[in-house]
A and B are shown apart, each in its own frame.
Chain A
Amino acid sequence: MKGMTVVVKTIASWVKVLIFLFGIYIIIFGHLTPGGGFAGGVILASSYVLLMLAFGREFVEENLPLPLASKLDCVGAFLFALIAVLGLVLGGSFFVNFLYQKYLPGQALNLISAGTIPLSNIAIGLKVGASLFLVILSLSMFKPDLSGTEKDSSFVVNTTEKE
């Protein structure tokens, strides 16, 4: 996947930072305003997809290669499961909101409130963003290899005819 012209590259490099910041804002304030982990994670993934469309796939693959994205995905899922198990250990039952009920109630309508809900939002945002970036990178890396398949030439002629 090749890149685009200089104008597109310049504007995309500025806009990508704003989209990334907006995604982080939607994740962190997910318990106070509309949004949450899922929407914020998809916005994070789409900021990297913008970079891939403007600069070409090789540029993004140097900075965020496929194994690193896959590891970030696993880290996000593991953090979410860790918060659930910590609820079991510290609170008494699986997934209980142990921070709100025991240690750190906070005040309503502030940023630090609602216990483990912001932490779960961050874990899910990381997981969803890394997953979707991983699958779009894999789709763009796939080049169909038509040479080793078992078709004969007459079939190729038939399908390229228009109606």
Chain B
Amino acid sequence: MAVFYILLLFMIIAAIIAVETSDLLSSVICVGAIGFGGSLMFLFLRAPDIAITQIVVEVLGLIILLRATISRDLTFITGDREFFGTVVSVVIILVICLAGIKVVETLPDFGSAIFTKVPEAASQTYISEGLAKTGAANLVASVILDFRAYDTLGEATVLFTSIIGATVILRKKAKKMVEDPDE
């Protein structure tokens, strides 16, 4: 259990550094450290699928972020937004914090399996009959591609749409077609 606290503390310190520093390159590297700590947490939480996915996604995310910040003028933007807006935002965040702490106290203890306390939970069926009904030894793969394949279809659609949106925004041809009738 101590390893969870150490990794969470590491992630929180890296997050505080990423938020407060004024150098963009340091923030991006600290986000990489948060992702790495998260991947180690997933490994200790007995989720090897998620640990593999998190580490490779974080590496590609770092490359995308660095591409946006490395070749621009790293302007040091002074201060925060105007004073009244900052005060209102901080007050709202404190209110959400207090409400959240009350909610966190009502959750069951960390480590007690919540799904075993509910007898008709779906996870009980997935664990006990997953191998017999689908034939896959990896129960997570049987859940995402056989029991809940609609969610995977929805995810493929969302990824497709966001990538199409990103490539359309980064197109250069639209500029030429606007300039030609002016000449």
> Within the complex, are A and B direct neighbours (CB within 8 Å)?
yes
Determine the chain B residues whose CB is within 8 A of the CB of A31 once the complex forms: 136-138, 141-142
Does any Cβ of B come within 8 Å of A108's Cβ?
Answer: yes
Closest to B79 in A: A163
**With contacts defined as CB atoms under 8 Å apart, how many contacts are there between chain A and chain B in the complex?**
137
Does any Cβ of A come within 8 Å of B81's Cβ?
Answer: no
Q: Kindly specify which of B10-18, B53-61, B90-98, B113-121 makes contact with the partner chain.
A: B53-61
> Contacts A134-B163, A159-B75 hold; do A95 and B150 have CB atoms under 8 A apart?
yes
Does any Cβ of B come within 8 Å of A106's Cβ?
Answer: yes
Within 8 A of A (CB), among B29-64: 48-49, 51-53, 56-57, 59-60, 63-64
Q: Number of contacting residues on A, CB 8 A?
A: 56
Does any Cβ of A come within 8 Å of B1's Cβ?
Answer: no
In the complex, the answer to whether B156 meets A36 with C-beta atoms within 8 Å is no
Determine the chain B residues whose CB is within 8 A of the CB of A45 once the complex forms: 60
Does any Cβ of B come within 8 Å of A117's Cβ?
Answer: yes
Determine the chain A residues whose CB is within 8 A of the CB of B57 once the complex forms: 42
Closest to A127 in B: B156
Does any Cβ of A come within 8 Å of B84's Cβ?
Answer: no
Within 8 A of B (CB), among A43-63: 43, 45-46, 49, 53
In the complex, the answer to whether A46 meets B59 with C-beta atoms within 8 Å is yes
Does any Cβ of A come within 8 Å of B105's Cβ?
Answer: no
Determine the chain B residues whose CB is within 8 A of the CB of A127 once the complex forms: 156, 159-160
Within 8 A of A (CB), among B132-147: 134-138, 140-142, 144-146
In the complex, the answer to whether B134 meets A97 with C-beta atoms within 8 Å is yes
In the complex, the answer to whether A128 meets B134 with C-beta atoms within 8 Å is no
Does any Cβ of A come within 8 Å of B167's Cβ?
Answer: yes
Question: For chain B, which range describes its interface: under 10, 10 to 19, 20 to 34, or 35 or more residues?
Answer: 35 or more
A27 to chain B, nearest CB (A): 11
* Docked pose: A136 CA to B22 CA in angstroms: 26
In the complex, the answer to whether B67 meets A139 with C-beta atoms within 8 Å is yes
Chain B positions 62 through 73: 1 when the CB is less than 8 Å from some CB of chain A, otherwise 0: 011001100001
Does any Cβ of A come within 8 Å of B152's Cβ?
Answer: yes
In the complex, the answer to whether A32 meets B138 with C-beta atoms within 8 Å is yes
Determine the chain A residues whose CB is within 8 A of the CB of B170 once the complex forms: 138-139, 141-142
Determine the chain B residues whose CB is within 8 A of the CB of A84 once the complex forms: 149, 153
Within 8 A of A (CB), among B151-170: 152-153, 156, 159-160, 163, 166-167, 170
> Contacts A34-B48, A84-B149, A97-B146 hold; do A135 and B167 have CB atoms under 8 A apart?
yes
> Contacts A45-B60, A46-B59, A49-B63 hold; do A73 and B136 have CB atoms under 8 A apart?
no
* Docked pose: A38 CA to B175 CA in angstroms: 35
B6 to chain A, nearest CB (A): 24
In the complex, the answer to whether B136 meets A117 with C-beta atoms within 8 Å is yes
Which of A38, A81, A115, A124 touches B53 (beta carbons < 8 Å)?
A38
A-B contact pairs, 14 of them (CB 8 A): A35-B49, A39-B53, A43-B56, A45-B60, A49-B60, A73-B160, A114-B136, A128-B159, A136-B60, A138-B166, A141-B170, A142-B172, A145-B172, A163-B78
Of all A-B residue pairs in the complex, the 5 with the closest CB atoms, nearest first, are A34-B48, A114-B136, A114-B135, A31-B136, A39-B53
